């Protein structure tokens, strides 16, 4: 089963997740939003698997820099385009393992997924 970590390389949470996977000898590939971009169909797939608001990092500097009217207008119809336009507002890392999706790094969640 394929495991992919999505995020940005200099993110502490992404680095923790990658380190955990390496330490536990789990093969994965890494997709950097900044270098590799973010496709509409990928984000659409994520939104089909989890509640879209779980993907938003409302504590980051990118979120704080976005105009309040734009933030107020985000909904299920606009979220995919919004995330593709502002990929660094996505809570990181996003781990895709087969049909499962985990957002953010939590060691217990990773242990349960890969037990």
CATH of 3-114, one of 3.40.30.10, 3.30.420.40, 3.20.20.410, 3.40.50.620: 3.40.30.10
pLDDT tens sequence for the chain (115 residues): 899 999 999 999 999 999 999 999 999 999 999 899 999 999 999 999 999 999 999 998 999 999 999 999 999 999 999 999 999 999 999 999 999 999 999 999 999 999 8
Taking the domains of the chain in order of start, what are their residue ranges? 3-114
Nearest-angstrom CA–CA distance, 31 and 46: 15
Given the DSSP bridges, would you call strands 100-103 and 3-7 parallel, antiparallel or unpaired?
A: unpaired
Residue of 11, 17, 56, 95 with catalytic role: 11
Q: Is there a catalytic annotation at residue 11? A: yes
Whole-prediction pTM: 0.92
At 111 the pLDDT is 96
At 70 the pLDDT is 94
């Amino acid at each position: 089963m394929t495991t992919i970590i999505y995020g940005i390389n200099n993110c502490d949470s992404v680095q923790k997740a990658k380190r955990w996977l390496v330490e536990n000898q789990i093969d994965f590939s890494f997709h950097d939003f900044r270098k590799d971009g973010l496709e509409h169909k990928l984000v659409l797939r994520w939104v089909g698997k989890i509640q879209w608001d779980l993907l938003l990092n409302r504590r980051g500097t990118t979120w704080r820099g976005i105009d309040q009217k734009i933030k107020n207008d985000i909904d299920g119809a606009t979220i995919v385009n919004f995330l593709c336009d502002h990929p660094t507002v996505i809570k990181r890392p996003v781990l895709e393992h087969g049909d499962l999706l985990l957002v953010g790094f939590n060691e217990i969640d990773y242990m349960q997924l890969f037990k």
